[in-house]
Structure 1
Amino acid sequence: MTRFHFSTTLCAAAFAAMFCTCTTSWAKDDRKPAVLAPALQKFVDDSTISGAVLMVTSPDKVLALETVGSANLESKETMKQDAMFWIASMTKPMTAMGLMMLVEEGKLSIDDPVEKHLPEFKGQMIIEEKTPERVVLKKPQRPITVKDLLTHTSGLTGNLPGEGSVLDALTLHGAVVGYAISPLQFEPGSKWQYCNPGINTLGRLIEVKSGLPFAQFMQERFFEPLGMKDTTFWPTEAQLKRIATSYKPGPDNKGLEATTVKYLSPNLKDKQRMPLAAGGLFSTASDLAKMYQMVLNGGKLGKKRYLKEETLKLMTTNQTGDLKVSFSDGMHMGLGFHIVNTPVGVTEALSPGSFGHGGAYGTQAWIDPTRKLAIVLLIQRAGLPNSDKSDMRAALQRAAVDAFGKEAAAQ
């Protein structure tokens, strides 16, 4: 067995305005009482969150679009329906769908070794032994595959040292080279471990196999055709003014204090910050409604098909077997989507087989295919121990299912 000693740190859809009159702290329509916002009001009252935009859609129409609380506590700006949010890891399923477009076109297979398309991954090693004095490397039993990237089972390292502070300097290509030369943490396919670098590598694969920069591919293949005018890696000056302020717990966990989104960098206007395939997007509830209507319709919206129905079925069924997924009990992994196979605890309102993804600052989007509903929670709350287990998510999903679940399932 070949071994190497390694001791240095690697651096390297048209929607009507359904709720227009303010009553207490949420927006509603006088003809139809709000059904979602009351469930989130208590979290505003106790300063868990500053405010939220809440949305439920069926395959063909938005059933509810409501707001609660404030977009900015200091200015007392009321949360608006078109507020923008950093959706963070909700970017991941979109990246995965982009990759699967190229799979459908025959440009690669999910079973391909990554090194087949990205030569920098050839000869990648795995950590066999690690002590304070040395790291011993060996050859893995097999190279990582595209499916490993999609399911967080690749064994790729966590974010590169210093990566968070050099987002304006790295390109997506440069970051992926850093991942490739870093040793694997475990045998590919043997374990589930949440992995931003794996999804960023999918973004690079999209670039190589499509011949387009990742952000341009997503814009041309998804965002523009779907009419997602406010979904972007680089908000404009006008869009920046609509981004809800992010908050974290105040001193001694009392109240809230403003915090930053690290992807809003000084070089934003120059688009020098790389478009993070694992978590760089900003969006709105109305934009996300269009994306998830497409998913609810089996990959088609209007006259345009984006993905085959069988492709989405593959992406939204368990692809990791019995491997434990740590975000929530009863959860497994599809291709880019988390799957709720056994709804328990915070996911108990959802049907078995529901799928979706959350984001670092508490945003959530979950699709219940039995009830034919997509449920979206947009908040900007840093410091949550686990946004996928948040009480806000559970409260919204219960309210959405209570209000629309029986009607949607009967259609």
Structure 2
Amino acid sequence: MEQSNCIAGMDVTRLDRIGDHLQRAYLEPGKLPGTLTLVARRGEITWLKAQGLRDVERGLAVERDTLFRIYSMTKPITSIALMQLYEQGRFLLDEPVHKYIPAWKGLRVYKTGSHPQMLTTAPERPMSIRDLLTHQSGLTYGFMNRTNVDAAYRSLKLDGGPGHTLDRLIDELSRLPLEFSPGTAWGYSVATDVCGYLVQVLSGLSLDEYFAKHIFQPLGMPDTFFTVPQDKLHRFAACYQYQPGDTFTLQDDPQNSAFAKAHGYLSGGGGLVSCIDDYYRFAQALANGGELDGARIIGRKTLEFMRMNHLPGNQDLPGVAIGSFSETPYDGTGFGLGFSVKTDVAKSQTNGSLGEYGWGGMASTNFFIDPVEDVLMIFMTQLIPSSTYAVRQELRAIINGALVD
């Protein structure tokens, strides 16, 4: 093999299979509008390619500086922000959430009935801050369409919408029951939005101000925000909704998007828009143990703690999860403080390493960091829901197949 064909111990010809695969399997058949994929190893970008369209209706191509709704890829950023405050001694993980949100002291657990007439019971123990970070809180999402509790979230529009704010979310949740007693199960939820609220309470800054001061500015991330500025709107991708028959329709026009207007909902669970170079700087800081170009956003030991499996008895998600929704395949995957964590490579049925961590977003974006191989990947596209295609597993197979040393 020619040495010139390798970058950071990765075979570039083999990495080219990413572009070939995405073109053949997803772009030509019209399954995805466009993609932007970045692979890096040992702090060096080894492969990056934009393919297809960021806006099908206007015929605009995906470009390196395209802005994407990253949805739940906001969660690791919020989790890092909260753990920065943990490093300052501002809170402990086992402290009850109601210490910082007094109105939550009387939270109850759903038993039967429908909103607003629900019978409830007392939780086995109060919700802790760790329960929020690990999605073991008993909170839920309205879009789950699984229980009478998430139906209440939908009726109250707690997943976002006009006039929704973090303060309103916290207030409404104080009166709603939990789906399960904290710590007894794993359920994907608005918990990371609550983490964002705690960042505000503990820091005295609004979440957007905190992110800017303590993460975005230190790392050099000028294109990550809750609201797309007007002078950057031309770079904002359209978002699409999967339709039966492997087609898609426009879900969110960038010119009329709620993300393009001042909306007031600082969602730490899913509210950010970003570009691949910004998110790469965040991911590379994590891959480096919490630091990039002299700017440290989290301590090495704290990050090691965050990327441990925090599920009880070191179980994977199928052992503790309720429902079937998540941003990652369940088998062989645990959950840490803000990330999924691979606990069993063989059981996951996807090539990789123990301790690989990351997360994805509702519009099919995804990132992972493999600390064993010092590899990271960021994949950007805009198709809802994220469970439509198995692109993430396919990309892992190709990327790991390109490792040479």
Calculate the TM-score normalised by the size of structure 2.
0.85
Corresponding residue to 1:290 among 281, 289, 294: 281
Corresponding residue to 2:223 among 214, 225, 230: 230
- Supply the AA of the counterpart residue of 1:280: G
- Change in Cα spacing, 1:81 to 1:140, as seen in structure 2 (3 Å) is same
Contact 1:247–1:256 at 8 Å: present in 2 too? yes
RMSD: 2.6
Question: Is structure 2 residue 300 aligned with structure 1 residue 309?
Answer: yes
Question: Is structure 2 residue 179 aligned with structure 1 residue 179?
Answer: no
CA shift for structure 1 position 392: 1.5
- Change in Cα spacing, 1:223 to 1:347, as seen in structure 2 (3 Å) is farther
1:217-366 to structure 2, matched below 5 A, reads 217-250=210-243, 252-253=244-245, 255-260=247-252, 265=257, 268-269=260-261, 271-321=262-312, 322=315, 323-325=319-321, 326=324, 327=326, 328=329, 329-343=331-345, 348-366=350-368
1:67-216 to structure 2, matched below 5 A, reads 67-130=50-113, 134-159=117-142, 160=153, 161-163=155-157, 167-195=161-189, 197-216=190-209
Contact 2:14–2:401 at 8 Å: present in 1 too? no
What secondary structure sits across from 1:248 in the alignment? strand
CA deviations on 1:95-133 (whole Å, 9 max, x unpaired) are 001000000000011111001111111111222333799
CA shift for structure 1 position 380: 0.4
Any gaps of 5 or more consecutive residues in structure 2? 1-11, 143-152
- Change in Cα spacing, 1:262 to 1:126, as seen in structure 2 (3 Å) is farther
CA shift for structure 1 position 215: 1.1
- Name the stretch that deviates more: 323-332 or 222-231: 323-332
Contact 2:133–2:337 at 8 Å: present in 1 too? yes
Cα separation, 1, equivalents of 2:141 and 2:160: 15
CA shift for structure 1 position 33: 8.5
Cα separation, 1, equivalents of 2:290 and 2:80: 10
Percent sequence identity over aligned pairs: 28
Contact 1:39–1:399 at 8 Å: present in 2 too? no
Cα separation, 1, equivalents of 2:404 and 2:14: 18
- Change in Cα spacing, 1:289 to 1:184, as seen in structure 2 (3 Å) is same
CA shift for structure 1 position 39: 2.3
What secondary structure sits across from 1:106 in the alignment? coil
CA deviations on 1:9-45 (whole Å, 9 max, x unpaired) are xxxxxxxxxxxxxxxxxxxxx9999453112112111
- Supply the AA of the counterpart residue of 1:240: L
Cα separation, 2, equivalents of 1:133 and 1:213: 31
- Name the stretch that deviates more: 346-355 or 170-179: 346-355
The count of residues paired between Structure 1 and Structure 2 equals 371
Cα separation, 1, equivalents of 2:372 and 2:42: 12
Any gaps of 5 or more consecutive residues in structure 1? 1-29
CA shift for structure 1 position 267: 8.3
Contact 2:158–2:169 at 8 Å: present in 1 too? no
Specify the alignment match of 2:147 in structure 1.
none
Contact 1:157–1:182 at 8 Å: present in 2 too? no
Contact 1:156–1:198 at 8 Å: present in 2 too? yes
Specify the alignment match of 1:40 in structure 2.
22
CA shift for structure 1 position 401: 2.0
CA deviations on 1:38-57 (whole Å, 9 max, x unpaired) are 12112111111011000012
Cα separation, 1, equivalents of 2:286 and 2:206: 24
Contact 1:53–1:377 at 8 Å: present in 2 too? yes
CA shift for structure 1 position 372: 0.5
CA shift for structure 1 position 216: 0.8
CA shift for structure 1 position 398: 2.1
Corresponding residue to 1:372 among 357, 371, 374: 374
